[in-house]
Amino acid sequence: MNKSRENWLGKVAVVTGGGSGLGRELALCCARKGMHVVLADMNEAGMGETVTRIQALAPTVRTLIRTVDVSSLEQMQNLATTTMEEFGGVHLLFNNAGVGVKAAPIWEYTLDDWQWVTNINIYGVAWGVKAFVPIMLEQNDGHIVNTASAAGWLNGPASGVYNVSKCGVVALSESLLMDLRDAQTTIGVSVLCPAFFASAIADCEANRPDDLSNTAPDTSIGRQRSEEVKFAMTRGRKSAADIAAITFAGIEAEQFYIFPHSKIKSLILGRAEALQRDEAFNTLEGRGS
C-alpha cells in the first residue's frame, strides 16, 4: 500500500476500542476516506452509536460490529476470520483498546489490577498483531497502528501499572517494525503516543470483569492524583477527533512514532539528557534530579 496517497476507497479498517473516544474518531476518519470499518469492543451500545455516526457521514461505507475481549487470542483470531469472510482483506489495524485503573502508589496495586491492565493493554495489542499480521503478509499490504501513550516514555506517579503497560506497547511496536523489515514486506507500523486528552478511559471500570474486580485500597494520595489526571484530561487542547486526524496524517506520511502533543518530544529529550548525567528524570517538573 502506498500510504501517502489519498485514495483509501474500498479498503478495510479494523478498530479495537471502537465504541467510544479515540477509537470512534479513528473509525470516523476511516469512513471519511471511504473505508469499510470493523469495530471491536465490549461496549455494544457504544459501537452502535459509532455505526450510526458512520452511516450519517458515509452512507455507502459498510460496517461490522463484534463484541470482542481483546485479551483473548481466540476472540481476536475469530475477529480476523470474520473480517476476512466479510470483506476479503484488512488494510488498517488500529490496536487501540486500552484501560487504566485508579491512581495509587505502585505497591498498592493488586494482582487483579496488574492482570486486567496487562491483559488489555499489552496482550490486546499482541493478539491483534498475531491475528492480523499473517493476513497482511499474505496480502503484502497493510498498516498497523498501536496506541501507546506519552506514559510509554514519561512515567508519572500513581500510574505504575498503566505506565508499564504503555512502555510495553512501545517496545512491542519497535520489535514489530524490525521483524517486518526482516520479512522484507511493505507493511507499515506506527506507534501512537498521545498525552492527555478527553477520552472514555476514565470510565473503563464499567467493563472490568467481576473476576478481576477492583479491590485496591482507597488512599488520599490516590484521590489527589486521580483528580489531577481528570483535570489534565478535561483541559487538554486537543480532542479525540484531533488525535485521530493527526494519526491518519501520520499513517499517510509513513511515520513510525506519532506524537500528537509536540511538547512530549522535548520532555523525552530532557529524560535522555538526565540519563547522560546518571540522574532520575522528574516527569512532573521536566528536569533531572
- pLDDT number for residue 1: 47
Query: Cell 514519561 sits at which residue?
Result: 154
Strand order in the sheet with 36-41: 63-67, 36-41, 12-16, 92-95, 143-147, 188-192, 257-258
- pLDDT number for residue 49: 98
Residue 210 pLDDT exceeds 80: no
Position with higher pLDDT, 147 vs 203: 147
Regarding beta strands 287-288 and 281-282, do their DSSP bridges make them parallel or antiparallel, or are they unpaired? antiparallel
Q: Which residues are identified as catalytic? A: 162
> Which distant-in-sequence residues (6+ apart) come within 8 Å of 251 by Cβ?
3, 92, 143, 145, 188, 190
* Cα→Cα distances 113→123, 205, 208, Å: 14, 11, 10
Position with higher pLDDT, 7 vs 127: 127
The pLDDT > 90 percentage for the chain reads 78
- pLDDT number for residue 224: 63
- pLDDT number for residue 234: 63
* Rg, C-alpha atoms of the chain: 19
Q: What is the pLDDT of residues 13-55, one digit of tens each?
A: 999 999 999 999 999 999 999 999 999 999 999 999 999 999 9
Q: What is the pLDDT of residues 159-189, one digit of tens each?
A: 999 999 999 999 999 999 999 999 999 999 9
CA gap 179, 181 in Å, rounded:
5
Residue 118 pLDDT exceeds 90: yes
The pLDDT > 70 percentage for the chain reads 87
Region 12-258: CATH code: 3.40.50.720
